[in-house]
Chains A and B, each alone.
Chain A
């Protein structure tokens, strides 16, 4: 199974990060921040990387995932702790699946940039449906810490919002990596890459283009939903519509995928590290000016590595022993 070897690099990287976070005091939350960025890149990559289609409504999936968990914990907590959590994950996945089925069903018939721009309304649409129709508290959102404390006790609440939430984010992040590796090696992956290179040719070859696009889209969306459920609802203990449907996360995820290299397994890892750390240090060194500096840097990277850093390295590594570990 040599095509799974890049997964070793990925897991190793997570292991190192977790070790750093655990051994150096005060580093745990920053490490979790980096892992969060890697995870949202990774989940977006499943669709964007493989198909070349940009999903501008991406953050909406994190948002509905956050709501899935929030609704379970806020409204159905009398089920008991474990069933509620399971329900939360299921609801997060189902809501993400539902949204992706509807949006994908309509928008995936469009090509390239048309798809990208068509999905830009998704996020606002869902946000205003929730706020306007006053669903699940409307703009007041769901504030969970008090509810959790009452139903499960202060200790459990603390455990849920710290250890459990962090573990959840890590598990989901690793899962997205594994899923990406699996897709890259599966019939689905081959079909998608054929489609990315030349959609017309893929169609002529008898590949059911629409079906594969839809499958990749839904997988990407469900993973995003799970990230929302763990990294936002559980960790922050609240869900506000304006907070979870903030478009900047979509853009950040795209930046991460592009920086690292779309369609590569390690791309989001490298992209996430570069992006999060660059931003972090620029913020320390030039508080308030970090975005002004980050923007030209981004442009330079795009001009130098249009295929992303990992895309570039993988190209260079072709034919060396390292080939198997970079993808």
Chain B
């Protein structure tokens, strides 16, 4: 029996030792006088609740790395670096993220890390990244507070939560100065709360009147108590939502309770094709913020006009390369584009700094401004928060997702006011 105990303990040691063995050795290519491989590290959610988003972001990163390598790599001095993405599955769990960041920083000796998906996981990663003084580039952590904690090594590529619903308010104000009454209905979670608190402040600045504001708990299956109340306040515009399921439910019950307004913007849910499949033509005219959308008109020419440098694949190149990785029918969601932009921003900043030292690269990022397929990239030097990139507002029109805002990126005119529920029940769509 003693043997058994010894066996258990030895087994344990072997297990752990195995863990360490598993990690591929850091590629220190002594060959090639001027060509080396540079690893960007990434904890990716390949399973768990962010599995879909995680996979898309990984493809986006790999596309960007491939493009960089095909276009001369990253040059520092007279060395050319080929980019490779070193990734692990974090299962969408905060505990795993910390282990993986440490492994990337110490075992793989990675200096540039692409943050995990979501604000919570990015926040969990930040202390460990700071400890090992490696850069952490957030492409899926939108919440503003991440960048208000004083982390120097954390920068942001996607637009912060506070910007999600502001574009929609700008649009409404421009289209219809008389639409004043705004109602907010959103999920009580840290992300949607951050989005809508900022939206509320911005709306008040623009001169809107907040006539209703209530939240619902995550996982609610019936929003009628809130919506019955909302109906009585007679709003012109509704903004709200949170994630996938509740966004669908919100639209569905607005239709059921026949609450007609001029425009609706819902977080997250409308950007997915399942939204239209679930709601049918009831989805017509519903808007939602997106970090990026296929068709967004960011091109080298636009960059020229604005006087900023263009870097990275064009949208057509990106779509083609994405298909090679993800399959013939794959259409990249915005998670792919934002992850690609994060990789591009590292490459650009490293070339600008002419160094692989994270501190120097971080400094170079302060003055960096470029455009890629995802849009403008520029951070606030103090906090590392993204200030260059603009959110797109999408709207379902005739069964298709169109970009309606900002005007520079728009692929269609906004459908305003949206058809009423009764009109939709008899088959009306936007543009019919």
Contact = CB atoms under 8 A, between A and B. Distances in A.
| A/B: CB atoms within 8 Å of each other | yes
Nearest to B2: A322
A33 B96 contact: yes
Which of A17, A157, A270, A288 is the most central at the interface, judged by chain B CB atoms within 10 Å of its CB? Answer: A288
B132 to A, nearest CB: 10
Interface stretch (B17-25, B78-86, B263-271, B307-315): B17-25
B193 A140 contact: yes
A16 B12 contact: yes
A162 B127 contact: yes
B190 A25 contact: no
Q: Which of the four size classes fits the interface of chain A? A: 35 or more
B2 A321 contact: yes
Interface in B94-146: 94-96, 98-103, 106-108, 120, 123-124, 126-128, 130-131, 145
Contacts of A291: 47
Interface stretch (B147-155, B275-283, B325-333, B396-404): B147-155
Interface string B181-218: 00000001110011000000000000000000001011
Given A26-B107, A36-B95, A9 B5 contact: yes
A31 B31 CA distance: 36
B19 A30 contact: yes
Given A26-B107, A138-B188, A287-B46, A240 B120 contact: yes
Contacts of B380: none
Contacts of A270: 8
B12 to A, nearest CB: 6
A158 B149 CA distance: 12
B98 A235 contact: yes
Interface stretch (A74-82, A192-200, A312-320): A312-320
A297 interface: no
A145 B149 CA distance: 6
B145 A154 contact: no
A29 B190 contact: no
B127 A284 contact: no
B306 interface: no
Which of A30, A290, A313, A322 is the most central at the interface, judged by chain B CB atoms within 10 Å of its CB? Answer: A30
A20 B19 CA distance: 11
Nearest to A19: B13
A140 B190 contact: yes
A185 to B, nearest CB: 21
B416 interface: no
A20 B4 contact: no
Contacts of B23: 26
Interface string A127-161: 01001100000111101011001100010011001
A162 B128 CA distance: 8
B127 A158 contact: yes
B272 interface: no
Interface in A1-60: 9, 12-13, 16-17, 20, 24-33, 36
Contact of B151 (A13, A20, A145): A145
A30 B107 CA distance: 13
Interface in B66-96: 88-89, 91, 94-96
A143 B99 contact: no
Interface of B is mostly: helix
Contacts of A146: 145, 148-150
Contacts of B127: 145, 157-158, 161-162, 236-237
A210 B101 CA distance: 47
B150 A236 contact: no
Contacts, number: 145
Nearest to B16: A20
A28 B16 CA distance: 10
Interface string B1-44: 11011001100110111011011000000000000000000000
Nearest to B147: A146
Contacts of A140: 190, 193-194
B15 A277 contact: yes
B51 interface: yes
B376 to A, nearest CB: 27
A92 B2 CA distance: 40
Nearest to B98: A29
B149 A20 contact: no
Contact of B190 (A139, A154, A235, A280): A139
A70 B127 CA distance: 16
Given A24-B20, A243-B94, A158 B130 contact: yes
Contact of A326 (B5, B91, B94, B148): B5
B347 to A, nearest CB: 25
A5 B95 CA distance: 32
Nearest to B189: A139
26 contacts: A9-B5, A24-B16, A24-B17, A24-B20, A29-B98, A29-B128, A30-B19, A30-B99, A30-B103, A32-B98, A32-B99, A138-B193, A139-B190, A145-B126, A149-B150, A158-B127, A158-B130, A237-B127, A242-B189, A242-B190, A273-B12, A280-B19, A283-B89, A321-B1, A326-B1, A326-B5
Given A17-B12, A24-B17, A322-B2, 15 more contacts: A26-B102, A29-B100, A29-B103, A30-B99, A33-B99, A145-B151, A149-B149, A162-B127, A236-B94, A236-B123, A238-B120, A238-B123, A242-B218, A287-B46, A291-B47
Interface of A: 9, 12-13, 16-17, 20, 24-33, 36, 128, 131-132, 138-141, 143, 145-146, 149-150, 154, 157-158, 161-162, 235-238, 240, 242-243, 270, 273, 277, 280, 283-284, 287-291, 313, 316-317, 320-322, 325-326
Which A-B residue pairs are the 4 nearest by beta carbons?
A29-B99, A26-B107, A146-B149, A322-B1
